[in-house]
Structure 1
Amino acid sequence: MRHYIAVFALLAAVYCEEVFNGDQVLRIHAESKKHIQILKELERDVDFGLDFWTNVVSTELPVDIRVPHARLYAIKNFLKENNIPFTVMINNVKELLDREREEMVHNAEMERKTKSFNFAAYHDLDTIYNFMDTLVANHSNLISKVNIGSTYENRHMYVLKFSTGGEKKPAIWIDAGVHAREWISHATAVWLADRIATDFKENRTPVPSILSQMDIYLMIVANPDGYVFTHRSLSEFYRFWRKSRSATSNPKCHGVDLNRNWDAEFGGPGASDDPCAEDYRGPSAQSEIEVKNIANFITDHGNFKSFMTLHSYKQLLMYPYGYVGTDAPDRTELHDVATQASKALNSWHGTVYKVGSIFHTIEQASGASVDWAYLRGIKYSFAFELRDTGEYGFLLPADQIVSTARETWFALRYIMQYVCDHPY
């Protein structure tokens, strides 16, 4: 195996000049265990500078890799020599990045002029937090903003609480933005916040009924430090930052994958102990202040009945377990709920979601938040992977935000109503 890696490293060194006009995302189709082994070794060696957008799991799931333009010739030849099929998923990452930045600059200027908020646009952290303040001010009878703690870099972590009154009523948790580069999750959560408030104000079914029985807690940005980092630099590398921004044992590598840091079979397969890896789990369970803040808040509340988290991309609706292939005790019910929710989602725009356990649907993952919630008695725990399935990956165009959010709302609405109708 080391022979393959040495050959690739040599090719990369020879063709280090700009051969292409920008990075590409390759979709790789492993056809054998040997192919999987080769790709996993590439994935583990962070020195190659390959950005794995999806993990190496099996021959059934493709692997998407962003390849720096200086290494495109080398990696393509490496794959061909090893008879590993691939296609070009994104021909020029830079073109999509440039369009995204131009749209954000234009939108910010228009919002300043019109003094309005455009839900069909991506926004930075300050703008999202200002939106939250405005929403609370406009719906003070329903919404409050709760500060659940500070991040590693001392930013506030805010949760919007939708409540018609009462102390520690049964509650539903929804978070987004755990992985910083998944901008569609943040934008979807912003739209959802406004939609919940509007539907309550206009007495649209079923929001008033749901809120008469339960509170909703919505965390739009679960990883503020990472999200800010994706906005602050023009480097392509930083736009695709996934983790938090805490210091690690390796001074050259910052951050922990917050969705591998939970106290749910922490340290098992499906998470890395390498601080430079994208799925680095951290030194210990819930070592990260962001995870601690959320876990403590949910635990102290003590009456959450549903836990849902929004990620991207792949169009999946999943339930426990992630760390093991064994069926969860409530697997049949959770699968039925997720299936009906995916049908509700599909009814809006025809978008198709795959349903299943995390382990069997996407990958093995230890230390994941959904498993943590389920293991602590929050039965209705689900993870969404939003649009798309690979045409744009993490660079979903802003003109798809509202449709993505609306179809996601249909699924969330179904789950929330089900939770209300099936108390436990």
Structure 2
Amino acid sequence: MRPPIQLVFLICFNIFLEKCICKSEHDQVLTITVSTQEHVDAVQNLTMSHNETELWQPASPIYITTNSEVHLYIRSTSVEFVTELLRKHGITYRMLLENTPALIEMQIKNDTSDPRSGGVFYERYHSLEDIYYWINKTKQDHSDMVKVILIGSSSEKRPLYVLKLSGRRDEVKRAMWIDCGIHARDDCLGADLNRNFDANWCTKGASDNPCDPTYCGQFPESELETQAVARFLRSHKDTVKLYLSIHSYSQMLLFPYSCSYDEIPNHNELFEVVKEASAKIRRYYRNNYKYGPGAKTIYLAPGGSDDWAYNLGIKYSFTFELQDRGRYGFLLPPSFIPQACNEALLATKVTALHVIKKLNEELP
């Protein structure tokens, strides 16, 4: 009798952080209610033409539609101008965040205690230096279970690592992949890596404008980070059975496709998986997560890593959008980290156990 299949964790650490860390006193975040086409046009023009605003939600001005909610980060020097413009057009808004410098400070402040030791490490945001330190320390402390694999370098010549967690067992032939922080907001620098994969690349829902947040790059896999991940996964496509990409924010559990409205062959199966995960998060943590295929649940987003992984042959492919739904957005206070992690872990457990069960059923 063959032993049951288990999954190895492959975790990719990228240097793109989904955090806005632009610092200015009295910056504000507004939530704007867009009710008419006139409102749509006005807010789209504002976000595309005014460089002291930053669109947090949706990801690009092209996604702003009637009866939608827009989250807009505004630098202090433009708050009066923006609010006056909104009032002029009769657009309803309210303040989400006013004291943004304090929230930013929570994320980047240095503590007198060693941030790399003890349980407090997992309740704070960390610099890339600290993350590298943690990777190396984890490898040293658990050399029988952990392997660090260099898969390439970033555009800034920083190493890109995969952390292989395989436990104390013989070679395992089935694995799951987890990556985090694949794209950020970078002021005309680089590309949105989650629009740079070869999955309906640069069609509706992406932009060929280098200054747009959803810039797709010059061609599929034009970016070094995308190349490194794609190269590694192609070489392990028969081993990786579950692909999971973790993002923030909006509290959603998504699966392909995001690049089109077509339904994937195993749509019903994956729908039931995220439905179960959402129900368990609601039961244990009293928090609501929307779920469904990306394009129908949010909007068209071609060139995404989860769609590309699915088309590669990884039939269990998901994207999790973590806390919150916009109260703090990209400035989520550190005190929210434990529950956000627990919710993500619970959803990961539900999906992983489902995949393990399916793989075991397929054993001869």
Distance 1:28 1:138, change over 3 A: same
Gaps of 5+ in 1: 1-19, 181-241, 244-251
Read off the aligned partner of 2:27 and give its amino acid letter: D
For 2:33, the equivalent position in structure 1 comes to: 29
SS across alignment from 1:53? strand
For the 8 Å contact 2:116–2:130, the answer to whether it is kept is: no
Read off the aligned partner of 2:354 and give its amino acid letter: Y
SS across alignment from 1:422? helix
Match for residue 51 of structure 1 among 49, 54, 68 = 54
Residue 95 of structure 1: how far off its partner (Å): 2.6
For the 8 Å contact 1:322–1:368, the answer to whether it is kept is: yes
Match for residue 87 of structure 1 among 86, 90, 94 = 94
Residue 331 of structure 1: how far off its partner (Å): 1.6
Residue 415 of structure 1: how far off its partner (Å): 0.4
For 2:135, the equivalent position in structure 1 comes to: 132
Q: TM-score, normalised by structure 2?
A: 0.85
Q: Please give the per-residue CA displacement for 1:98-124, whole angstroms capped at 9, x wherever unaligned.
A: 3433xx311xx2016977762111111
Matches within 5 A, 1:61-80: 61-80=68-87
For the 8 Å contact 2:178–2:245, the answer to whether it is kept is: yes
Matches within 5 A, 1:268-307: 268-303=203-238, 304-307=240-243
SS across alignment from 1:29? strand
For 1:17, the equivalent position in structure 2 comes to: none
SS across alignment from 2:110? helix
For 2:299, the equivalent position in structure 1 comes to: 363
Distance 1:171 1:95, change over 3 A: same
Matched, 1:337 2:273: yes
For the 8 Å contact 1:29–1:63, the answer to whether it is kept is: yes
SS across alignment from 2:77? helix
Read off the aligned partner of 1:89 and give its amino acid letter: L
Match for residue 110 of structure 2 among 105, 115, 128 = 105
Match for residue 325 of structure 2 among 383, 386, 389 = 389
Q: Please give the per-residue CA displacement for 1:293-324, whole angstroms capped at 9, x wherever unaligned.
A: 00110010122211111110111111111122
Q: Please give the per-residue CA displacement for 1:164-213, whole angstroms capped at 9, x wherever unaligned.
A: 45557121111001124xxxxxxxxxxxxxxxxxxxxxxxxxxxxxxxxx
Residue 363 of structure 1: how far off its partner (Å): 2.2
Distance 1:111 1:176, change over 3 A: same
Residue 356 of structure 1: how far off its partner (Å): 1.5
Read off the aligned partner of 1:343 and give its amino acid letter: A
SS across alignment from 1:118? helix
Indicate the percent of aligned positions where both proteins have the same amino acid.
34
For 2:190, the equivalent position in structure 1 comes to: 255
Question: Counterparts of 2:354 and 2:191 in 1: how far apart (Å)?
Answer: 34
Question: Counterparts of 1:38 and 1:112 in 2: how far apart (Å)?
Answer: 45
Residue 327 of structure 1: how far off its partner (Å): 2.1
For the 8 Å contact 2:195–2:206, the answer to whether it is kept is: yes
Matched, 1:312 2:248: yes
More strand by share: 2
For 2:147, the equivalent position in structure 1 comes to: 144
Question: Counterparts of 2:94 and 2:262 in 1: how far apart (Å)?
Answer: 34
Question: Counterparts of 1:410 and 1:257 in 2: how far apart (Å)?
Answer: 28
More helix by share: 1
For the 8 Å contact 2:107–2:124, the answer to whether it is kept is: no
Question: Counterparts of 1:71 and 1:379 in 2: how far apart (Å)?
Answer: 47
SS across alignment from 2:147? strand
Read off the aligned partner of 1:176 and give its amino acid letter: C
Question: Counterparts of 2:222 and 2:277 in 1: how far apart (Å)?
Answer: 34
SS across alignment from 1:332? helix
After the TM superposition, which segments of 4 or more aligned residues of structure 1 sit over 4 Å from their partners?
112-117, 164-168
Question: Counterparts of 1:306 and 1:29 in 2: how far apart (Å)?
Answer: 38
Residue 60 of structure 1: how far off its partner (Å): 4.5
For the 8 Å contact 1:168–1:301, the answer to whether it is kept is: no
Question: Counterparts of 1:63 and 1:112 in 2: how far apart (Å)?
Answer: 35
SS across alignment from 1:346? helix
Deviates more, 1:111-120 or 1:90-99: 111-120
Count of residues in correspondence between the two structures: 331
SS across alignment from 2:87? helix
For the 8 Å contact 2:166–2:172, the answer to whether it is kept is: no
Question: Counterparts of 2:350 and 2:285 in 1: how far apart (Å)?
Answer: 16
Question: Counterparts of 2:163 and 2:313 in 1: how far apart (Å)?
Answer: 23
SS across alignment from 1:390? coil
Question: Counterparts of 1:395 and 1:283 in 2: how far apart (Å)?
Answer: 31
For 2:286, the equivalent position in structure 1 comes to: 350
For the 8 Å contact 1:306–1:379, the answer to whether it is kept is: yes
For 1:213, the equivalent position in structure 2 comes to: none
Higher relative contact order (CA 8 A, sep 6+): 2
For the 8 Å contact 1:346–1:407, the answer to whether it is kept is: no
Distance 1:173 1:91, change over 3 A: same
Read off the aligned partner of 1:32 and give its amino acid letter: T
Question: Counterparts of 2:55 and 2:284 in 1: how far apart (Å)?
Answer: 31
For 2:11, the equivalent position in structure 1 comes to: none
Match for residue 172 of structure 1 among 156, 176, 183 = 176
Read off the aligned partner of 2:110 and give its amino acid letter: V
Read off the aligned partner of 2:31 and give its amino acid letter: R
